[in-house]
Amino acid sequence: MAILQQESSPRMLRDLGTSPRVLDVTDLATQFKTSDGVVHAVNGVSFHLDAGETLGIVGESGCGKTVTVLSMLRLIPEPPGRVIRGQAVFLGKDLLKMTPDEIRQVRGAQIAMVFQDPMTSFNPVLTIGRQLTEPLEIHLGMTGKQANARAAELLEIVGIPKAADRLGDYPHQFSGGMRQRVMIAMALSCTPQILIADEPTTALDVTIQAQIVELVKRLRDEIGMAIIWITHDLGIIAGLAQRVAVMYGGYIIEHAPVRELYANPLHPYTIGLIGSLPRLDRRRERLESIDGLPPTLYEEPKYCPFADRCTFVHDRCRQENPPLIQVAPHHEAACWVDVRTGGLRA
């Protein structure tokens, strides 16, 4: 069952080569006060998102991926967290300057989020039907009867068998993969312009992972929504995203179209990530590993945050933190070293 598209949808505009910009994040920085000191979780992140495209944000645990999108949506608990600077312009309006009522109207209705663990994202004492119908009644003004009918339709769209009969069930009565499908149905209930998926397949087996990814791709093409897919798994991003932003130590350290990044990684950290992926065409080669530990971020890095783990490190890397530098068409890397030659960039 297809989801109805609006006229001049983002998908249509994308097909015509005129995709509008729906999100522009600039110099976003977030800190957390802890008993051990201030954690500099996100340190000046900038990226954009066009209608109908998928942006992958990748990196190891603790690099700032989730904090970046939670900051953008004003979901960081204050205290201990605080967004200290930056902009997140959504359709011409800065999310970080909206009133509490304004941002509540955006969350769920225009920007929806699917979380990593669906079990902790549901209210265990409310039925799935009630949790699906509430946003429809609040954001779209539907009656209870209309919301129930739409909720059943949404469950059918994401592949839940006997959808109408399952509205009275509770979250614990669904398997992990089915709960994730229900989370996607809930996120899509108001036909958002942006879907943020925060490692939605991490706790699922590989067969269910593939089903969820294919489901999201199909719904993206039917609705024309833009997607931010957060993950540590570069394998998933390869078949899903158009662009990739690689994060490390609270920074975006490489940004490129997905094919360019996989074929020509130009930051040592990205090279290590791709080298750690199993490949069918290189069965006899040992997988690479990245020695050392990620930075603790109790101090904002004054030099390259990857320098202590980098095999290409030069003296300048320990003296100055590199900005994102254009190293190829549509390809940026935050590295003083040209990894192709091992020498410093001019």
Number of residues in the chain: 346
CA 295 vs CA 19, 33, 40, 123: distances in Å:
37, 17, 10, 35
195 φ, ψ (degrees, to nearest 5): -115, 125
Task: Give the integer Cα–Cα distance in Å for 107 and 281.
Answer: 43
pLDDT tens-digit series, residues 227-244: 999 988 888 888 889 999
pLDDT at 92 over 60: yes
Say which range, 214-218, 247-251, 267-271, has the weakest mean pLDDT: 214-218
* Region for 309 from its dihedrals, namely left if φ exceeds 0, alpha if ψ lies in -120 to 50, beta otherwise: alpha
So what's the pLDDT on residue 14? 44
Of 211, 187, 207, give the one whose Cα is nearest residue 198. Answer: 187
Pull the structure tokens for residue 30.
């977030």
So what's the pLDDT on residue 8? 38
pLDDT tens-digit series, residues 115-125: 877 667 788 89
Q: What share of the chain is helix, strand, coil (3-state, %, to 5)?
A: 35, 25, 40
pLDDT at 277 over 90: no
Categorize the per-residue pLDDT at 281 as very low, low, confident or very high, splitting at 50, 70 and 90: low
Terminal Cα distance for the chain, rounded: 55
Helices (H) and strands (E) in the chain, counts: 12, 14
H-helix segments, 17-76 = 65-72
- Percentage above 70 pLDDT, the chain: 91
Q: By the 8 A CB rule, do 21 and 49 touch?
A: yes
pLDDT tens-digit series, residues 30-62: 999 998 899 999 999 999 999 889 999 999 888
- What's the mean pLDDT when you consider all of the chain? 85
SS3 string of 198-244?
ECCCCCCCHHHHHHHHHHHHHHHHHHCCEEEEEECCHHHHHCCCCEE
So what's the pLDDT on residue 247? 95
The H or E element spanning position 128 is helix 128-140
Of 77, 141, 86, 83, give the one whose Cα is nearest residue 109. Answer: 141
Residues 6+ apart with CB under 8 A from 117: 203
So what's the pLDDT on residue 216? 82
Averaged pLDDT for residues 314-337:
92
β-pair partners for 248 = 251
The structure's pTM equals: 0.85
